[in-house]
Each structure stands twice: as C-alpha cells, then as structure tokens.
Chain A
Amino acid sequence: MASDKRLGLIVNPKAGLGGSVGLKGSDGAAIQKQALALGAVPQALNRAIEALQLLTSSRGELEVITYPGEMGADAAMACGFEPVVIGTIAPGETTAADTCRAAEEMSGLGVDLLLFAGGDGTARDIYRTVGTTVPVLGIPAGVKIHSAVYATNPKSAGELARMYLRGQATDLREVEVMDIDEDAVRQGIISAKLYGYLRVPFQRMLVQSLKSASPPGERLAADAIACAVIDQMADNWLYIIGPGTTTRAITSRLGLPKTLIGVDVVVNRILLAADVSERQLLELLEGQKAKIVITPIGGQGYLFGRGNQQISAEVIRRVGKENIIVVSALDKIVSLRGRPFLVDTGSHAVDEMLKGYVKVITGYNEYTVYQVSN
C-alpha cells in the first residue's frame, strides 16, 4: 500500500440503536434515549472494528484521519492504528451535525476514501455534505440499510476498503442514497425517498454475489437499454421518466438534462417538464397518451412507491399497465436474489393490477420476464 493513502473514518455511535428494540430506526435524540432505556446496545463500534481489522496488515502505510472517541478514534485504536484525530465532540451526545462536520473536514484534508459506519441516516448526512466529491464506503451498522452505499457486511467493507486503497479496485460506481421517514413508519406508513447518489468503490470479487457485472459492463448495459427505449419512442406521447442512473442514460442519450432523484417528462425527444410533482403529472396527462419509464430503485427492487411517489397510483391508473416500460440492467435483477419486484402505490387496486410478470428491457433487443409482487 502506498504510504500516501489517507483513510477518513467516521463512526456514527448512535447507528443501529433502535433496531434491536423494535424502533425502526435511530434518528433523533429522543428515539436514541428511548432505545437506550429499552436496553439497546450500541452496534457501530464493534461493526467498525470488524471492518478495520482487515486493514491492520497495512497499518504502517496508511494514515487514518478520524473524529474523537466513539466517532472513530476508539475503533481505530482498538485495531492498533495511531489515527490523526481532528475535531471535537460531546461524548454520548453526538448528532447528525457531527457526522456532517467530520465528513466536511475529512474531505477538506483530501482523504482517498471515507469509510463510515452507520445506517441510511448517516449515508444521507454524508451525501448532504460531500456529494460525489469523495469516494465513500459504508460499514453497515444501522437499522435501516436501504442504501446500496453499504458493503454486504463489515468484513466485506474492510476488504473492499483495503483493495481500493491498494489500487486493486479502482472503479467507482454511483449508488443510491435512500432513506425512509422513520416517524411515518412508526405510524405504519412506509415512505422511502431517494436522496441522491454517492460514489462507492467497486470490486467484482467482493460484490459478485450482489452484482456480478463490472462498471464498464454496467455502463454499456445502461447505454444499450437507452438505445432500445429511444428507438421505441412514439411521436406526441409523453414519456414520464422516473429517477435513477439507468433512466438517466436515456435522457443523456437524447442530450437532455435529468433530475436524478426526480421525475421528468419528455415528449418528442424534448424535455417538457423537469422534476414534476404528482399534481403536475396529472395535469400534463390531461388528454395525452403517455408511457412511464422506470427502473427498480434501491436494493429491494421497488418499481413504485419508493423514491418515485410522484408517479402515484392515479398516474399509473391513467397511463395504464400496458404503457409502463420497466428498464433494468440484468445484474440489478440478479442482485434481488429471486425476490420479486415490489409495488406499493398506496392503492390496493393498482398494486393488484401491477402484480404478475413484467417484461423488462435489459439491453438492446433483450428482455427478461420477472415477477412483480406487492
């Protein structure tokens, strides 16, 4: 390992607190207090140590920059590192603001990789602060792990970090940062939102069970899918294009901008409306024929109801099942491990209508038939 490699380490000590005691998440001080009162045991430190142990063989050549105590220094020192500790915290009282500040300062110090232990909330905080400027990698420690920012387990996170810092895994891929509204979940409503994308190292040997293709393969697949969709575009039809990097390939190929985490409407290969709401969609649909182009969002394979709620049950009903175009790289389908695509539009009737099998565009002149469930 080259000696000039800098690893930023952030541990969110509150991550995962809510899970073991059934609180669906750990966002906010009140919930964290409630979790601790219910006997929750902090997970993040041990998870971080488990990952860092895979980096110990390169201790001498790696500079670890971290925040004090429970936010990283404890974990680093437990693995024999002598980290550069920056910033200050109030022990036991850390908040999302600490995560953001730490990410910002580490980014300013030019870390090669920002390794963080947390959950979806932590990924959001990091995304909000550094966006795609710094390669990041998540050690899964939270209750909610909807984001693909995380390695499958702490060991894989450590291994992937090691390979990336050694230059053995040089490719980065953009993956979704998703989070659900915890308060809503506690009231029985699932409302997941797509917040943006982070850049995460890719190494096929570590992620092959999840995704077997390589980044060039993925880019080619998205491009082939885009060509297939564009070839089929009919004049004067509205194309309601959902969020995602796969759908972005379509607009990119048309030379149009794309709201990565929102819904855009294209007609005759021209952008009609960007980042539309449900209401706008319903207005645009008045007297118009339309198709919906979507790709499954996140690791759980949601077609509707997660990250694209603008395309509501009513929008789907008006467009019609036969006018829904589902696009996905085959590897994304494979990563679902045989679990069906999911729909959760809020309307039982629409969910029932969408159930069954769907013919997904997986390449140019390539389709895969896959199950849809609710």
Chain B
Amino acid sequence: MIQHDILAQRYENGKPKLRRYHQARWDEPIIFELNQPGQRGVLVPETEPAIKDQVGDALSVLPAKMRRKQPPALPEVSQVHVLRHYLRLSQENLGAGFVPDFGMATSTMKYNPPLNEQLARSPKMTELHPLQDEETVQGILEVIYRFEQILKQVSGMARFSFQPRAGSQAIYANASVVRAYHASRGEAHQRNEMIVTIFAHPSDAACPSTAGYKVITLYPEESGYPSLEALKVAVSERTAGLFITNPDDTGIFNPIVDEFVKVIHEAGGLCAYDQANANGLLGIARAADAGFDLCHFNLHKTFSTPHGSGGPATGASGVIEKLARFLPVPTVEFDGEKYYLDYDRPDSIGKIAPFYGVVPNILKAYAWVMALGADGLREAAEVAVLNNNYLLKKVLEIPGINAPYAKGKRRIEQVRYSAEQLTQETGVSSLDFALRAADFGLHGFLSHHPFVVPEPLTLEPTESYSQTDIDEYAAIWARIAEEARTNAELVKTAPHNAPIHQITDHDSFEDPARWAITWRAFRNKVQDGHGK
C-alpha cells in the first residue's frame, strides 16, 4: 500500500508527473578570487642533497629566454578548499548523466557507458606513454589499427587519421588535405574557394577559412537544402571543394547530394562530408557511396565517448585512396606480424596535433562498436531516427511551435524547431523558452548563428533514451508553452531554479574589443584595456 501511495505521488494517468527540480546555488567565487597568500595544497619536499648535487640547478636545463621572469600568479588555496570549490561548481552544472539532454542538439550526448570509461582508466591504458617504443605498445596500436578498419567500413573511405583532437580540427585537417591535393596538381593557388551551406555546422565554414580559403555559403530553398542552380553559381575554376553536412542542422536529408558532388567533381574540386554527427546514418548511408572524397566522424559524439569538456575529443578524419598520402603523420600500419608507426610519408600535411590522437577515446569508441557489432550500429541509427520522429510528432502537437522547411516530411536525427508563432502570440521568445527549460534541469540550445530559422530551438534525442524520457521531455516543453500563454512573465524572467539567472549583457560576448576567453585576456582587454 505504501509503495502504491508513493507511485501515486509520482504518476498521473500512468505517466510520470513533471519533476520538481532545483539546482544547487553556492554563489561560489572563481578560484582566483579564493587566493589567500600562504595557503598551500601541497608542500613539495626539499630535494635530497644527493640528487641536488647530481642534477644541479634543474631550471638551467631550460633556455633563459623561455623561463618566466616571475612565478605564475596561481591562486594559493588549500586542498580541502580546492576540492570543495570544484564539487560546488559541479553541482551548479547540467549534465548528460542527469537528464535526457536533447537540447544539446546538434550534439546531444548519447550514453557514455561507464564500462568503457573503466577500460580507458585501467593502468594498461593510463601507464602508456606516447614515446614508448612501438614494440612495447603493440596492444594499443592494434586497437587503433582495428578501429580504423571499422571506420573504413562504416564510411567506405580508404584511410583514417585519429590525430585531430576535435571535430573542427578534423575539418581543418581535411581542408589541409584538399589543399595538398590541389598543390600536388599545381592548382593550390588557383583553387582558393570552399563552398558550404548555411545550415551546415559553422566549423565547415570556419575551418577552411582558418586554413586560408574564401568561403561561399549556399542558402536553402523551401525544401531545406540549396538548389543545384545556386551551387552552379558558386562553382568555378577557383573551387577547391565542398564541405557539407547531410542532414544539416534542420535534420532534413538532401536527397540530391550526389548531384552536388558531381557538380563539384566536374569543376575539379573535392567533396568533404561532415559526419561529426552520423547518428542517423551508421550502417545506412556511406560517404564514399555518395561520391565524397573525405569525411570525418566525432568519436565524442557518434561513437559514444564524452564531449570535449569531459575530456579531450577526437575527430576521425577519413579520405579515399588517392588522398591517403596526404593524411597526417604518423599512420598506424600492420605488416602481417607487428604494428608500427609510419612517419615516412613525404606528401603528408604533417601534424595536426601531437602523437597519434587521444588514444583513450579511440579505445572507448572501439569498445562501444565491438559491443554493438555491425547490426547494432545500424540499429542505433534506426532508433535515433525513430526517437527523433517520435519527439517531432509530440513537439508539433504543442501549439505555437513549428518545424520550418520540408513541411510534412520526416527528419533524420534532429530538428530545428521555430517558436516564432508562440513568440508572436505570447511575447515569449525561444531564448526565454530555453531559459525556462533550465528550471526543469534541461539545457536549451537555440541555433548556430545566424538565426535563419526564426525563434529557433534545436533538439536531438539520439538512440540512447527511452520513450518515457522523450515523453517527459515533450511534457516539459508543453508545460512551458502553456506557461507562455497563462503566465508569460514567469517564463520571461526564468530561470528561477538555476544558480544564475539571466545574463543580459550579450554584447560582451560578441564584441571582439570586449570578449575574453582567458583570464589574462580579460585583464588586458576588460579590466585594464579599452574594453571597459
């Protein structure tokens, strides 16, 4: 009976009621502000005289020019205060482990099995050093080699490099490979334009731009993808390549992408498929089969390893046979008896990052794929698409929220919704909506800039979550939309249950004279500089 009563508290009509949630609030200063001169985390013992005599002045090993003139201004804080500080911060956070965080789209975390974490944290992994002789690291080289064989099958590409430490680095590596290819044909100077779509991930434009390319962006038609005619206006003898996602952030699959590839190839360019998020495509569609020359996967997204902020990421960069010689060095090879690192690749673009990639990530991704098998990968994609379309149906039942473009068509793994109608009817913007979602423990991502979809909200449920999770998520959205109509002020002043309320000074994030991504930059620009 008691158990029955408890369930009655939590369920209504057989469905879980909306959870009551409140995040911890510690009003915690930043670690630099906790500085108390004289406090210590560790007192490093004096070096024993015998060692001192042997080594001499250890600092003298460093060239004088490279030595700091004064010690770094690190905060002086005791161990217990450091521990407390970071535990508090961790409570003022949202995380994929707590909630089905579909609002992270276009990069909702799928489930990261702790078993794979344990593998990566085993001493067999953690005690390896990248400079060890390859004879002594045959096991991990085998894992890297075998995982490359898997990705080759998944994509149809000929070779992969796991060196890039993020999806963006992989795109940068691919842009560099494209240039190396054109250079090998004496066309690097002439071919200085890269074509992208506006709904592609912004890195598809930013990374080629960083690599020195001009970027031409295509705008979508009502179908959700650009027309071939627009592509043909962009293409010329200056075209180096096409960097494209498919589906784009709208979740709409471009069914004529192979024709895009053909147009680019006819103009002498190469085509790179951004498959950072291949959640809807694993085992279903392959980059090489659509004619692409390059692709990349984010292991920290599609292959279940944690995101960058949870540990260094991996962007696996793949190419067809004729481009293999340009991949970063070293590659991992197998001569039939042993695995080895091949640095003798004269046409290589060189190094994108040190060593061989974030090896623990490769191990986790390998473990994930081996647990699922080929059929499991395909099933993961199918469930991801099914989940997304189930969520789509539930969201479209919420008055005021729509899914622009390709009306009536199903989407692949994500959807960019528009709350424009709700905004017009209630004054509640999609940003207000997303901030109110934080009161239910959810993070809300609107859209990359620019907001081509007005009042955007983007969701991706992935395959990891259950129907109950999706129902709960959709119910929270329905509640917020209802609140927008009955108590708009509540939504517009949200979040109320989160440690930080609203940040209204957005411009400081957008004005290069004022933004700062490091403490030092903050001091230079904002505290002391002209930005103040």
The smallest C-beta distance from B203 to any residue of chain A, in angstroms, reads 15
Q: Which chain B residues lie closer than 8 Å to A358 at the CB level?
A: 233
Contact A368/B507 with A209-B451, A334-B450 known, Cβ cut-off 8 Å: no
The smallest C-beta distance from A254 to any residue of chain B, in angstroms, reads 22
> Which of B125-133, B210-218, B334-342 sits within the interface?
B210-218
Cα-based distance from A334 to B454 in the complex (angstroms): 9
For the side of the interface on A, what is the size category? 35 or more
Q: Which chain B residues lie closer than 8 Å to A205 at the CB level?
A: 429, 431-432
Q: Which chain A residues lie closer than 8 Å to B217 at the CB level?
A: 330, 362, 366-369
Cα-based distance from A331 to B198 in the complex (angstroms): 12
The smallest C-beta distance from A330 to any residue of chain B, in angstroms, reads 5
Q: Which chain B residues lie closer than 8 Å to A371 at the CB level?
A: 219, 230
Q: Which chain A residues lie closer than 8 Å to B455 at the CB level?
A: 208-209
Across the interface, do A356 and B233 meet the contact criterion of CB distance under 8 Å? yes
The smallest C-beta distance from A228 to any residue of chain B, in angstroms, reads 9
The smallest C-beta distance from B263 to any residue of chain A, in angstroms, reads 13
Nearest A residue (CB) for B198: A368
The smallest C-beta distance from A359 to any residue of chain B, in angstroms, reads 6
Across the interface, do A334 and B452 meet the contact criterion of CB distance under 8 Å? yes
- Is A133 in contact with chain B by the CB < 8 A criterion? no
Across the interface, do A367 and B216 meet the contact criterion of CB distance under 8 Å? yes
Across the interface, do A214 and B510 meet the contact criterion of CB distance under 8 Å? yes
Contact A359/B233 with A213-B450, A334-B450 known, Cβ cut-off 8 Å: yes
* Chain B positions 34 through 65: 1 when the CB is less than 8 Å from some CB of chain A, otherwise 0: 00000000000000000000000000000000
Q: Which chain B residues lie closer than 8 Å to A171 at the CB level?
A: 507
The smallest C-beta distance from B122 to any residue of chain A, in angstroms, reads 47
* Chain A positions 209 through 246: 1 when the CB is less than 8 Å from some CB of chain B, otherwise 0: 10011111100100000000000000000000000000
Cα-based distance from A168 to B222 in the complex (angstroms): 36
- Tally inter-chain residue pairs, CB-CB below 8 A: 94
- Is B189 in contact with chain A by the CB < 8 A criterion? no
For residues 168 through 223 of chain A, which have their beta carbon under 8 Å from a beta carbon of chain B? 168, 171, 204-206, 208-209, 212-217, 220
Across the interface, do B452 and A215 meet the contact criterion of CB distance under 8 Å? no
Across the interface, do B449 and A213 meet the contact criterion of CB distance under 8 Å? yes
Cα-based distance from A156 to B432 in the complex (angstroms): 15
Cα-based distance from A217 to B451 in the complex (angstroms): 14
- Is B150 in contact with chain A by the CB < 8 A criterion? no
- Is B497 in contact with chain A by the CB < 8 A criterion? no
The smallest C-beta distance from B233 to any residue of chain A, in angstroms, reads 4
Across the interface, do A369 and B218 meet the contact criterion of CB distance under 8 Å? yes
Across the interface, do B511 and A209 meet the contact criterion of CB distance under 8 Å? no
* Chain B positions 218 through 229: 1 when the CB is less than 8 Å from some CB of chain A, otherwise 0: 111010001001
> Which of B74-82, B172-180, B302-310, B420-428 sits within the interface?
B420-428
Cα-based distance from A362 to B198 in the complex (angstroms): 12
Across the interface, do B454 and A209 meet the contact criterion of CB distance under 8 Å? yes
- Is A288 in contact with chain B by the CB < 8 A criterion? no
Nearest A residue (CB) for B454: A209
Across the interface, do B450 and A338 meet the contact criterion of CB distance under 8 Å? no
- Is A155 in contact with chain B by the CB < 8 A criterion? yes
Contact A367/B214 with A159-B427, A209-B451, A212-B449 known, Cβ cut-off 8 Å: yes
Contact A216/B513 with A208-B451, A369-B219, A371-B230 known, Cβ cut-off 8 Å: yes
Q: Which chain A residues lie closer than 8 Å to B222 at the CB level?
A: 338
Contact A217/B219 with A212-B449, A212-B450 known, Cβ cut-off 8 Å: no
Nearest A residue (CB) for B236: A359
For the side of the interface on B, what is the size category? 35 or more
Across the interface, do B451 and A334 meet the contact criterion of CB distance under 8 Å? yes
Q: Which chain A residues lie closer than 8 Å to B231 at the CB level?
A: 369
Q: Which of A204, A208, A215 has the most CB of B within 10 A?
A: A208
Cα-based distance from A357 to B228 in the complex (angstroms): 11
Q: Which chain A residues lie closer than 8 Å to B229 at the CB level?
A: 356-357
Across the interface, do A359 and B431 meet the contact criterion of CB distance under 8 Å? no
Contact A357/B233 with A205-B429, A209-B451 known, Cβ cut-off 8 Å: yes
Across the interface, do A369 and B233 meet the contact criterion of CB distance under 8 Å? yes
Across the interface, do A155 and B507 meet the contact criterion of CB distance under 8 Å? no
Across the interface, do A366 and B427 meet the contact criterion of CB distance under 8 Å? no
Q: Which chain B residues lie closer than 8 Å to A168 at the CB level?
A: 504
Q: Which chain B residues lie closer than 8 Å to A208 at the CB level?
A: 429, 431, 451, 454-455
Contact A365/B214 with A334-B452, A370-B219 known, Cβ cut-off 8 Å: yes
* Chain B positions 395 through 436: 1 when the CB is less than 8 Å from some CB of chain A, otherwise 0: 000000000000000000000000010011001010110000
Nearest B residue (CB) for A156: B427
Q: Which chain B residues lie closer than 8 Å to A365 at the CB level?
A: 209, 213-215
- Is A134 in contact with chain B by the CB < 8 A criterion? no
- Is B234 in contact with chain A by the CB < 8 A criterion? yes
Contact A368/B512 with A155-B427, A208-B431, A359-B233 known, Cβ cut-off 8 Å: no
The smallest C-beta distance from A220 to any residue of chain B, in angstroms, reads 7
Cα-based distance from A56 to B94 in the complex (angstroms): 37
Cα-based distance from A331 to B455 in the complex (angstroms): 14
Across the interface, do B219 and A368 meet the contact criterion of CB distance under 8 Å? yes
Give the 9 A-B CB pairs with smallest separation, nearest first.
Answer: A209-B454, A216-B511, A212-B451, A357-B233, A365-B214, A367-B216, A334-B450, A214-B510, A368-B217
Name B residues whose Cβ lies closer than 8 Å to a Cβ of A: 198, 205, 209, 213-220, 222, 226, 229-231, 233-234, 420, 423-424, 427, 429, 431-432, 449-452, 454-455, 504, 506-507, 510-514
Name A residues whose Cβ lies closer than 8 Å to a Cβ of B: 153, 155-156, 159, 168, 171, 204-206, 208-209, 212-217, 220, 330-331, 333-334, 337-338, 356-359, 362, 365-371
Apart from A358-B233, A365-B209, A368-B198, what 15 extra A-B contacts exist at CB < 8 Å? A208-B431, A212-B449, A213-B450, A213-B510, A214-B510, A214-B511, A216-B510, A217-B511, A330-B450, A331-B450, A359-B233, A366-B215, A367-B216, A368-B218, A369-B226
What are 6 A-to-B residue pairs whose CB atoms are below 8 Å? A213-B449, A213-B450, A334-B452, A338-B219, A359-B233, A369-B219
